[in-house]
Amino acid sequence: MLLQFRPTKIVQIVFTALVFVALSGLVKAQDVPDRLAMETLTIQSDGGEHVFQVEVAKTDRERARGLMFREAMAADHGMLFIFESEGERFFWMKNTPLSLDIIYANGAGKIVSIAEDTLPYSERVIPSNYPSRFVLELNAGTSKKLGIKPGDVMASPSITDAKP
């Protein structure tokens, strides 16, 4: 069967396809880079000082992407999320294949809660339960293995710079 198109219909289809391709390129160009700026972060706990290399997510776009689509992360690496002020924080694991420990800290860097061993790809909301300004994501099991708990203190250049 031969399909017949009117010239205006063909122009509409071609125009729509070109717009779609152009917009696809713009969205890709605006994506967050795979890796963000890195810095050293320490956590002081009863078990001593624990040192991590963390990526810093400080813009809305960087925080929204987080560790989504990452399939591996070194044991001493993580991601630090920085917010403008303290507040209740809500995270989820959508599009995140890694199981993580999500560590919430207040404006002074003091850990207020930890969500251990989060479920990969889950859309379940993971609340901080306390006002938080900083959120650190580490590989699942790291908190328990190192004895990191609420009351311990995180420090990094970004945390120091962000304090009022």
If residue 35 lies in a helix (H) or strand (E), which one and from where to where?
Answer: none
pLDDT in tens, 59-102: 999 888 888 888 889 999 999 999 999 999 999 999 999 999 99
15: alpha, beta or left? (left if phi > 0; alpha if psi -120 to 50)? alpha
pLDDT in tens, 103-142: 999 999 999 999 999 999 999 999 999 999 999 999 999 9
CATH code linked to domain 38-162: 2.60.120.1140
Report which of residues 31 and 53 the model is more confident about: 53
pTM of structure: 0.78
Structural domain spans, the chain:
38-162
